[in-house]
Structure 1
Amino acid sequence: MSLKEFLLAVYERLLEFYGYQRWWPIDTSYHSRMDTDPRDEIIISAVLVQNTSWKNVEKALERMKRKGILSLDFVRKVDEKTLQELIRPAGFYRLKSHRLKEVAFFLNPTEKVSYVKRQELLKVRGIGKETADAILLYAGNRLNFVIDKYTHRLMERLYGLKGSYEDLKETFEKHLPKDVEIYKEFHALIDEHAKRFCKSTPLCGGCPVKEMCISADPSS
């Protein structure tokens, strides 16, 4: 089986097992009521999720919705101390307030996310490769596959594939169909699988891709 066939087989197996994840989650009803851009929520949460759990991000987003406005325009206009208090549940709130300000001014207007070059986005202070690719894929609907620690872990265990961020990104983008929805779902499915089965200490029993994995424990 070629690598292209293998990746598609893994994707289809995970999709069959977990179903569509429909990431990135956004509160569409909120943005409809407030006449704000839902892409702003993706960009803001992509920064907030750095080095924290999604549950903490949700708490910060709710605070922004209740006590402020969940939009990049609000981030640009609000004073930094207030912003820090709103995003405090996401941790590293002083650092992240600076980063949010930077990206909010850079992506002005939000539509810029649909055409800005990746290398330009990476020059924004606090925006690393994973955050940039998440913003481009989920907010910009661009063909940029997101690599994270779960992707590294899964591909090494399943296929013995190691490499840098850019190596794995190139591998996925070279071998997957040029389909934004597949990119979105596959990244989300990998994360879900890593949290459920392919943990730091893997739980091979019941794993939906066990028979495809070169590292699986045959006794489980």
Structure 2
Amino acid sequence: MTISYEQLYSRLFDCYGPQNWWPAETPLEMMVGAILVQNTNWRNAEKALLNVEPYLFPESLESLTTDELAQMIRPSGFFNIKAKRIKAFLEWFKTYHYDVERVKESDKQQLRNELLDINGIGRETADAMLLYVFAKPLFVVDNYARRIFYRIGFDMPTTYDGFQNQVENAISGDVQLFNEFHALLVEHAKIHCRKTPVCQGCPLVDVCARRLD
């Protein structure tokens, strides 16, 4: 049995309901969190966020030295590298006067190119910021999406942009749909499509090819 991307979304939504992502209180917390979660899990990133929470204001983060920031975010791993990335991101954000609404006025592709020019900001991190903070409709490709799509039986492009384009060309989605789609895939990967899959009770079991890595 085959399934479309839209049907996949519908099944996940019917099973898990709205996710109300991203799990952050402010846009800056979301963007810093997107950097901290690189190469680690959300639990470790959250510990680092709690440490830096009193400084989660642009001017406060700017006032910290890179070394001071690195020590605060130590639980996230690669903390020296991530501290430099956060500082580089702040330099870019400052060109917009730390104003999210001003950033939103820019074209999606222009913004994506600017974010990708920041040291240490890759496609997944940039796209998460574009979707969850700057309200640009796009599909975020992460390891969870790759795992789920592969196991179901989709033959996706190996490149990030190729994967993203294939999904976006098949779905006429708005910001809300892509927001939910990404969050639902993460939720499904945590509950059922783990590294060792839990197929019992899975809402996709009847359409899954069950290909394993």
In the superposition, the TM-score normalised over structure 2's length comes to: 0.88
Deviations 1:101-145 (A, max 9, x none): 001111123325422521221111100110010011111111121
Consecutive unaligned residues of structure 1, counting only runs of 5 or more, are: 28-37
Q: Counterpart of 1:30?
A: none
Q: Counterpart of 2:180?
A: 185
Q: Which of 31, 35, 45 is equivalent to 1:43?
A: 31
Q: Determine the C-alpha separation between the residues in 2 that align with 1:186 and 1:39.
A: 20
Residue 84 (structure 2) pairs with residue 79 (structure 1): no
Kept in 2, the 8 Å contact 1:44–1:72? The answer is no
Query: CA shift at 1:194, angstroms?
Result: 1.2
Query: CA shift at 1:93, angstroms?
Result: 0.9
Once the two structures are superposed, the pairs formed by residues 1-220 of structure 1 within 5 Å of their partners are 6-27=4-25, 38-65=26-53, 68-108=54-94, 109-110=97-98, 111=100, 113-114=103-104, 115=106, 116-163=110-157, 164-215=159-210
Consecutive unaligned residues of structure 2, counting only runs of 5 or more, are: none
Query: CA shift at 1:2, angstroms?
Result: 8.5
Give the counterpart letter for 1:130 in structure 2: E
Kept in 2, the 8 Å contact 1:156–1:162? The answer is yes
Q: Determine the C-alpha separation between the residues in 2 that align with 1:53 and 1:113.
A: 28
Deviations 1:36-71 (A, max 9, x none): xx2111110000000111111111111112xx3212
In structure 2, the CA distance between the partners of 1:173 and 1:2, relative to structure 1 (3 Å rule), is farther
Give the counterpart letter for 1:174 in structure 2: N
Kept in 2, the 8 Å contact 1:113–1:136? The answer is no
In structure 2, the CA distance between the partners of 1:2 and 1:120, relative to structure 1 (3 Å rule), is farther
Kept in 1, the 8 Å contact 2:150–2:211? The answer is no
Kept in 2, the 8 Å contact 1:73–1:104? The answer is no
Kept in 2, the 8 Å contact 1:13–1:208? The answer is yes
Give the counterpart letter for 1:178 in structure 2: G
In the superposition, the TM-score normalised over structure 1's length comes to: 0.85
Q: Determine the C-alpha separation between the residues in 1 that align with 2:2 and 2:177.
A: 19
Give the counterpart letter for 2:41 in structure 1: S
Deviations 1:170-190 (A, max 9, x none): 012112223101101100111
Kept in 1, the 8 Å contact 2:70–2:83? The answer is yes
Query: CA shift at 1:74, angstroms?
Result: 2.1
Moved over 6 A (4+): none
Q: Counterpart of 1:34?
A: none
Kept in 1, the 8 Å contact 2:153–2:208? The answer is yes
Kept in 1, the 8 Å contact 2:131–2:175? The answer is yes
Q: Percent identity?
A: 37
